[in-house]
Amino acid sequence: MGISRRKFLKLSGSALAGAAVADAAGLGLNVSPAYAHGAAAGIKQGRQVPSICPYCAVGCGQIVTVDEASGKIVDIQGNYDSPISAGTLCPKGAASYQLVVNPLRETKVKYRAAGSDHWEEKPLDWAMDRIAQLFKATRDANFNELQQVPDGTGNTFTRRVMNTYAIASLGGATMDNEWNYIHQKLMHACGVVFLENQARI
Ligand code: SF4
């Protein structure tokens, strides 16, 4: 069926506003099951905790609903009181609940040794120690104290740089301003110059 984007939006809007069935509007789309599901779904009850979406630097407001009896999160919605997002969340933020409650989420450290064909479960402390040891070994083996740099006249001169090009730090969207600040302090103190924080701003 050929339909322009403008017509689709116009028909969708009128159908959603007034009627449960958009089929009659020429879309061939029956939204009755979605309406029925929405009407049957109970409003999640519990203690409401204001929070911030962890996914990106926009920082949209969220309300996390926690079941008092179990202490477990039962819902995450947009916070209408947020001056940043006024109750809205993008699709990623709207799916935050699945970040917390998801049977597919990995909760244990998995390690696969070089040359191995299988993963082993390891304690978190073991993984943190290994990262620190490899970080230090890589830094020690590739640390530049002095470097020849151009002087602008076609010659070079020796400069004290105290850095390493063998390590790079790639951040994640969940890193907030404070975390990024501390992280870049740590990385620069170690001589790491390749830093990317992945903030989508
Ligand atoms: S990921 Fe989406 S909902 Fe979350 S802060 Fe960014 S824009 Fe807002």
Shared-domain flag, residues 129 and 91 = no
CA–CA separation, 156 and 22 (whole Å): 73
Q: Supply the DSSP symbol for 25.
A: G
Q: What is the domain count for the chain?
A: 4
For the residues 170-184, what does the mean pLDDT come to? Answer: 83
Best of 51, 56, 63, 88 to mutate for ligand 1, by most ligand atoms within 8 A of CB?
Answer: 56
Cα 49 to ligand 1 centroid, rounded to whole Å? 17
Strand partners, 122: 109
CB 93 near ligand 1, within 6 Å: yes
- Domain coverage including residue 122: 107-134
pTM: 0.61
Shared-domain flag, residues 193 and 148 = yes
Q: Is the pLDDT of residue 24 over 50?
A: no
Shared-domain flag, residues 200 and 146 = yes
For the residues 153-160, what does the mean pLDDT come to? Answer: 95
Shared-domain flag, residues 57 and 93 = yes
Amino acid 145: pLDDT:
97
Confidence of residue 11 (pLDDT cuts 50, 70, 90): low
Q: Is the pLDDT of residue 201 over 60?
A: no
CB 110 near ligand 1, within 6 Å: no
CATH of the domain at 84: 2.20.25.90
Shared-domain flag, residues 53 and 81 = yes
Confidence of residue 200 (pLDDT cuts 50, 70, 90): low
- Chain centroid to CA 132: how far? 24
